[in-house]
Amino acid sequence: MSLNLKIAESEPRAPIALSCGGCASCGVGVFRRSGRLSAKADATVAVMGNPNVGKSTVFNGLTGLRQHVGNWPGKTVMRAEGAFRLGERLYRLIDLPGTYSLMSQSPDEEAARDYLLFGQPDVTVVVCDAGALERNLNLVLQVREVAGAMVLALNLMDEAERKGIRVDERALARDLGVPVVPMAARSGKGLAELANAIDGLSTGRLVCRPAVSARLDPEIEAAVVEIELALKAEFPDLPHVRWIALRLLEGDADLEREVTQGTLGRLGHPPEAAL
């Protein structure tokens, strides 16, 4: 994994996926649950993932809150917020509704997408079901296109093991170019490692090195670039231009409406309005 992850020289022993719980003695901070956010946070962390992969369990594990956890998809429709502290730094955590894709239509999935794109979290955690990785990777790859710093929380490792499924998390981290933390959040395994990965990404101790994003046909690639240029000319401040260009190429009706009404430019600025 360290092949793709730049580790700052001042912190030579800052690994991402430890098998122990982490403690001060091996250079890994112990995170403290801080419940609801009471002070100004140093960084904002969005928690995303497919429905029913344990996002709320991860969120509760890190923050110590008791956000209702149910064994069924679509339970979290409202955004929940909490915090945890690692060392001197306070992290604000946002639990987003489950989503299979960033290209979808229902209001809760749009809420998750808009927050990721325009709420500008510092770090994005994508929680995945280790037992259904292929389906989960679809979202991971989409998020990787737009998120600067992300970590893959490979949850439900215990369940996958019982199903006889093994995931090579090192190979996964190498292929994706993002840190991968194997977890079993229900029993608390991997939470400390995840907290440290978040801290590492936020402080720059860890850096995502995404491999080349999904390879497109050269003709389509050229088309995307052409739309990107037109977008930049009309909306100079727009973030995630490539992603928007891809959606426009597909004929996304919502975004076309935004362009026509001239409201697209505003998307770059509403810090909270997205949800």
Q: How many CA atoms lie within 13 A of 220 on its CB side?
A: 11
What is the C-alpha to C-alpha distance for residues 267 and 99, in angstroms, rounded to an integer? Answer: 20
Select 43 or 46, whichever has its Cβ closest to another protein.
Answer: 46
Which DSSP helix (H) or strand (E) runs through 56? helix 55-63
In a 10 Å sphere around its CB, with 0-12 CB exposed, 13-18 middle and 19+ buried, how is residue 105 labelled? Answer: exposed
Select 41 or 112, whichever has its Cβ closest to another protein.
Answer: 112
Judged by CB under 8 A, does residue 138 bind another protein?
yes
Judged by CB under 8 A, does residue 171 bind another protein?
yes
Specify the stretch interacting with another protein by CB under 8 A; choose among 9-17, 26-34, 113-121, 246-254. 246-254
Number of residues that bind another protein (CB under 8 A): 62
- Which residues, 93 to 122, sit near another protein by CB under 8 A? 97, 103, 105-108, 111
Judged by CB under 8 A, does residue 134 bind another protein?
yes
Judged by CB under 8 A, does residue 254 bind another protein?
no
Judged by CB under 8 A, does residue 210 bind another protein?
no
In a 10 Å sphere around its CB, with 0-12 CB exposed, 13-18 middle and 19+ buried, how is residue 201 labelled? Answer: buried
Which DSSP helix (H) or strand (E) runs through 66? none
Asked whether the beta carbons of 18 and 169 are under 8 A apart, the reply is: no
For 104, left (φ over 0), alpha (ψ -120 to 50), or beta?
Answer: beta
Judged by CB under 8 A, does residue 64 bind another protein?
no
Nearest Cα neighbor of 116 from 83, 145, 89 is 145
Query: What tokens were used for 265?
Result: 């430019």
Judged by CB under 8 A, does residue 74 bind another protein?
yes
Which one among 201, 246, 267, 274 touches another protein, defined by CB under 8 A?
Answer: 246
Asked whether the beta carbons of 45 and 123 are under 8 A apart, the reply is: yes
Judged by CB under 8 A, does residue 3 bind another protein?
no
Minimum CB separation of residue 176 from another protein in Å reads 7
Judged by CB under 8 A, does residue 253 bind another protein?
no
85: which strand partners? 32, 90
Residues that bind another protein (CB under 8 A): 51-52, 66, 68, 70-75, 77-78, 97, 103, 105-108, 111, 131, 133-135, 137-138, 140-142, 159, 163-169, 171-172, 175-176, 186, 214-217, 219-220, 223, 226-227, 230-231, 233-234, 246, 248-251, 256, 259-260
